[in-house]
Structure 1
């Protein structure tokens, strides 16, 4: 059978898939029977891992072969229950030959938190992975789950599956696996920066320099194809239009400085009255009455001095 431009024997591919499974298991990316791996053998045949078998202990003859609709055509064990995810990616991306899905803990933490992967922090991540999308949650196993990656897979090889794990696509088995290693290592580094004050970001110009290096080493980046290399690379997301009102990941733990600055400017541009009186005259009257009552108690029954309204030099709006 053909594999990545070479004529590798199918048995060798099976051995390599088992090796990837061992790496996933030994890295802690797939507990017990978690995870699944696939490789496109031909236009209509895909080699894949079986269900309910630990990826750390697979043997070459445990693997299955399915067609592009997910029907099993060979193998003594039942095919992976999540093979439709792999097949959907392969249908959307004819260049993809291998797919790895598992639950690397640091990257999966971002997926569970719906925290977008920050950019403009590490050159290696930017060059070898680029932007990473988050697909919305769906019950694993069915076509609806597989379809969640469709809006994003054409523009990236690495996707966080919300509340679930990761899926990475590649030109061969090791390429897909290494992308899983990279995303988890990067997320681990980001988490380790939090007690140190969080990551420091380089600017858009430096990000563009890195993106322009990628064609020279054979790494695709859709931002070059779309002419976005001079845009707001660090604070914006290539995938923002793929998200919607019901699923719109926003940064909470890792907010680029330019977004923080935008938030501060927006906050400071609000008139002071919006901070004090947004709730209406009835609310202000209630606050006034409570304030008067408290001040009378403090002053032993004397009338309070001043109007008792919240605000003044200590108000939030004044702090800007």
Structure 2
């Protein structure tokens, strides 16, 4: 398998993970990965569309930053980039620290934002990476539009700033990171905090940020645990892998 084929498999798996976690039901959502200065792999629309949860390697196509084929035949077979390709490419053009972009439509994240419930560090050891992400702030792009051109994408990137995740009001979220794995795991963490926050508020509770002294005690478990192990778990979940008795 070539390196590009391996990357296609990675992006396709990331799409299925998002769907399995309930962050991208139906046919909406996409994942991209920069492969060089001018090209990226991205889940494209095809003639046999079955939704994010059924993404195959064939659905991951190589395009340039303007959506043209990234190699001869790259969009053969009736494939085309998603309408929101600019959402991905504007992040990649603007953020030198980013190589992978996730766009998803998690219902609880949308509901929490519309209800005025911000993503805050209300948990601690329950999700250490998610707590740290929330503590740094999760901004909101306040327009519920399809981010289908560079002008709108630039607005979204402006709202995002240097943060890893931005919420899109009435729409979903965009998560950006140096790796596909990290961009997906960030989105999952934000979704988990949104779900918990809605449950707390619905139960009549109040949302309080984790105390500073508790935040200071949270350990750095290292990428091998927080990313690599977590990613193996996510892939095992979608493949139905069960630990031996």
SS of residue matched to 2:7: helix
SS at match of 2:52: coil
Give unmatched runs, 5+ long, in structure 1: 1-7, 219-320
Cα drift, residue 210 of structure 1? 6.9
User: RMSD of the alignment, in Å?
Assistant: 2.4
Distance 1:200 1:97, change over 3 A: same
Task: Determine if contact 2:23/2:106 at 8 Å carries over to the other structure.
Answer: yes
Equivalent residue number for residue 41 of structure 1: 35
Deviation at 1:217, TM superposition (A): 5.4
TM-score (norm 2): 0.75
Match in the other structure for 1:283: none
The match for 2:185 is: 178
Deviation for aligned residue 1:45? 0.6
- SS of 1:56's partner is helix
Aligned residue for 1:148, secondary structure, equals helix
Q: Which has the larger radius of gyration?
A: 1
SS at match of 2:62: strand
Q: Which residue of 1 aligns with 2:63?
A: 66
Deviates more, 1:181-190 or 1:49-58: 49-58
Distance in 1 between residues matched to 2:155 and 2:144, nearest whole Å: 7
Find the aligned partners of 2:180 and 2:93 in 1 and give their Cα distance: 17
* Cα-to-partner distance string for 1:198-233 (whole Å, 9 max, x where unaligned): 223344x4487379x77x958xxxxxxxxxxxxxxx
1:282-297 matches, within 5 Å, as: none
How far the C-alpha of 1:120 sits from its partner, in A, is: 4.2
Q: 1:65 to 1:111 in 2, by over 3 A?
A: farther
Name the structure 1 match of 2:19.
25
- Aligned partners of 2:189 and 2:170: how far apart in 1? 20
Runs of 4+ in 1 over 6 A off after TM superposition: none
Distance in 2 (CA, whole Å) between partners of 1:95 and 1:180 is: 17
Counterpart in the other structure of 2:137: 131
Q: 1:151 to 1:9 in 2, by over 3 A?
A: same
Q: TM-score, normalised by structure 1?
A: 0.59
Alpha-carbon distance change, 165 to 137 in structure 1, aligned in 2, over 3 angstroms:
same
Show the counterpart of 1:117. 118
* Aligned mate of 1:149, from 145, 149, 156: 156
Quote how far apart the aligned CAs of 1:16 are: 1.2
Pairing 1:88–2:95 present: no
Contact 1:108 1:163 in 2 (8 A): yes
Contact 1:133/1:152 (8 A) holds in 2: yes
- Tell me what 2:200 maps to: 193
Instruction: Render the CA deviation track for 1:264-309: whole Å, top value 9, x for unaligned.
Output: xxxxxxxxxxxxxxxxxxxxxxxxxxxxxxxxxxxxxxxxxxxxxx
CA contact (8 A) 1:104 1:184 kept: yes
